Amino acid sequence: MKLLTVLVVLALGIVYLKARLFSFRAQDSSDYAALGPDISLKEHLNGPILSEGVIYGPNGRVANSFVARMEGRWEGDTGTLTEAFTYSNGKQQNRQWNLTMVDDTTFTATADDIIGVAKGKVSGATIRMDYTIVLTEEAGGHSLNVTDWLYLTESGVIMNRSEMRKFGIKVAELIATMRPQADEEARREAAE
């Protein structure tokens, strides 16, 4: 019985260390402090933005995809990011983030489907935000803990990767691109 207990504790310890040291959750903002170009909420989340992405379910398969039209506006250290999502299953969703810069590297955010206040950190080419989101009743009404990472690329495109967890278990993941709408329109016109 003692051997079984030791093996269970050892296995749980290995799982914990893997999650904390070798996974998405192991990232820290300081890991990206020297990574450039530097991202700025006021600059890169400003004006019209087009986002396209996929959502993976708990089995690792694509559960849905979306296109979102976003609009960022800033006045001093407060801003809004309005999002209008159209999902591949025909559903639509709107959200407005209310953003407040606390200092040069930290910010807070609220939205109607967020519990409490999201906390964010800007570091080098990245933004990290942690919050709890409440899914619509249609999607089960669950509260999920979310870790959002946004990575600014050299071309100015932002790559967004998010993990959603319930009771510490990953239940969904989102991967998306975000690019200034004017850049996307110019790219499409050049392709025609």
Give the pLDDT of residue 189.
54
DSSP 83: E
For the chain, the domains span 30-191
The SS3 assignment for 81 reads: strand
Give the pLDDT of residue 22.
55
End-to-end C-alpha distance for the chain, whole angstroms: 70
Give the pLDDT of residue 39.
86
Q: Which residue has the tokens 């890991």?
A: 31
CATH homologous superfamily for the domain 30-191: Calycin beta-barrel core domain (2.40.128.20)
Per-residue tens of pLDDT for the chain, all 192 residues: 677 787 676 777 666 656 555 555 656 656 555 666 788 989 999 999 999 999 999 888 999 999 999 999 999 999 999 999 999 999 999 999 999 999 989 999 999 999 999 999 998 889 999 999 998 887 778 899 999 999 999 889 999 999 999 998 899 999 999 999 875 555 565 556
Give the pLDDT of residue 15.
62
This prediction's pTM: 0.77
Q: Which residue has the tokens 């559903």?
A: 91
Q: What is the 3-state secondary structure (H, E, C) of the chain?
A: CHHHHHHHHHHHHHHHHHHHHCCHHHCCHHHHCCCCCCCCHHHHCCEEEEEEEEEECCCCCEEEEEEEEEEEEEECCEEEEEEEEEECCCCEEEEEEEEEECCCCEEEEECCCEEEEEEEEEECCEEEEEEEEECCHHHCCCEEEEEEEEEECCCCCEEEEEEEEECCEEEEEEEEEEEEHHHHHHHHHHHC
Give the pLDDT of residue 181.
86
Give the pLDDT of residue 183.
57
Give the pLDDT of residue 143.
92
Give the pLDDT of residue 38.
86
